[in-house]
Amino acid sequence: MLDLTGRTALVTGSTRGIGAAIALGLARAGARVAINGRSDDTVAAAVTKLSEDLSTDGFIAAPGDVTAKDGTRSVLAEVGAVDVLVNNLGIFGARPALEIDDDEWRRYFEVNVLAAARLTREVLPGMIGRDWGRVLNIASDSALAIPAEMIHYGMSKTALLAVSRGFAKEAAGTGVTVNSVIAGPTHTSGVEDFVYQLVDPKLPWDEAQREFMRTHRPLSLLQRFIEPEEIANMVVYLSSPLASATTGAAVRVDGGYVDSIVP
């Protein structure tokens, strides 16, 4: 039932990390998947690696800067009709609240929110016309538990939840669903170095991450980092026919980090 044969998916920011894992998961379900990033070379290398991992030619290169109108148009021209859109692209970084200037506030909004809204606006009419489609926005636990050290990031992810809910209403009564996925602390590139700055560097990774979670992320019920594939599993499900009654939702894959029984 997790069958996306004949569907075309676009995953933004998919040359590595969570985006690459999502792209691989969608391809395993049978979708033709467009890999996106800003650099032609980086995208080509990612397509080659993913194709080798899955032994398939179902990946296509769609380089371009989707934070700009021209880049968005060129990416969509390369991909064609999009059946599954995964807005995964995002930036984050720590900054004291009083040091975040206007330009940085705008940058976080434009990359983390406006790029997703623009792409959704472009592909949603076609999905509605075909009476089938999936839009997934990758949000974060920071949307609900705003980090004191990066409130601009938290703001952007909170806004993304609202964008998802709003576009879901636009697609009401059709075969198109729009949802967000609230990702918790995830094991991506650079995370291990960050963890070992805060715990004993002699600990094996499994022990180190659990110590980090106990000490620095005590609200996590999982008590380990989430693997990118675990985020991808939820995205693939929500992209499939099985999730036809789930729309306008903020679905948590946060390891229980957010201390709430609802989003």
Instruction: Parse the chain into domains and list their residue ranges.
Output: 8-186+226-253, 187-223
Instruction: Read off the pLDDT band of 224 (50, 70, 90).
Output: very high
Among the listed residues 153, 196, 237, 257, the single catalytic one is 153
Asked whether 138 and 18 are in contact (CB, 8 A), the reply is: yes
H helices within the chain, ranges in order?
Answer: 17-28, 40-54, 69-79, 102-109, 115-130, 151-170, 191-196, 205-216, 228-239
- Which segment, 181-190, 194-203, 230-239, is predicted with the most confidence on average? 230-239
Q: What is the pLDDT of residues 110-131, one digit of tens each?
A: 999 999 999 999 999 999 999 9
Instruction: Read off the pLDDT band of 188 (50, 70, 90).
Output: confident
Measured distance CA(16)–CA(89) in Å, rounded: 11
How far from 134 is each of 1, 84, 175, 222, CA to CA, in Å?
16, 5, 9, 28
In this prediction, residue 263 carries a pLDDT of 73
Measured distance CA(107)–CA(16) in Å, rounded: 22
In this prediction, residue 52 carries a pLDDT of 94
In this prediction, residue 131 carries a pLDDT of 98
In this prediction, residue 256 carries a pLDDT of 95
What does the pLDDT average to over 154-164? 98
In this prediction, residue 223 carries a pLDDT of 92
In this prediction, residue 9 carries a pLDDT of 98
In this prediction, residue 56 carries a pLDDT of 84
How far from 153 is each of 2, 44, 105, CA to CA, in Å?
33, 29, 9
Measured distance CA(162)–CA(166) in Å, rounded: 6
Measured distance CA(246)–CA(132) in Å, rounded: 13
CATH topology of domain 8-186+226-253: Rossmann fold (3.40.50)
What does the pLDDT average to over 215-236? 95
- The mean predicted confidence, pLDDT, of the chain is 96
Q: Is the pLDDT of residue 15 over 90?
A: yes
In this prediction, residue 209 carries a pLDDT of 93
What does the pLDDT average to over 255-263? 89
CB within 8 A of 48, min separation 6: which ones? Answer: none
Q: Is residue 153 annotated as part of the catalytic site, yes or no? A: yes
Instruction: Read off the pLDDT band of 177 (50, 70, 90).
Output: very high
Instruction: Read off the pLDDT band of 189 (50, 70, 90).
Output: confident
Measured distance CA(109)–CA(90) in Å, rounded: 10
Measured distance CA(108)–CA(90) in Å, rounded: 8
How far from 126 is each of 25, 81, 83, 174, 190, CA to CA, in Å?
24, 7, 9, 12, 38
Asked whether 156 and 113 are in contact (CB, 8 A), the reply is: yes
DSSP assignment, residue 226? B
Q: Is the pLDDT of residue 29 over 90?
A: yes
In this prediction, residue 160 carries a pLDDT of 98
Q: Model's pTM, two decimal places?
A: 0.95
What does the pLDDT average to over 141-147? 94
Please tell me whether residue 165 adopts helix, strand or coil conformation.
Answer: helix
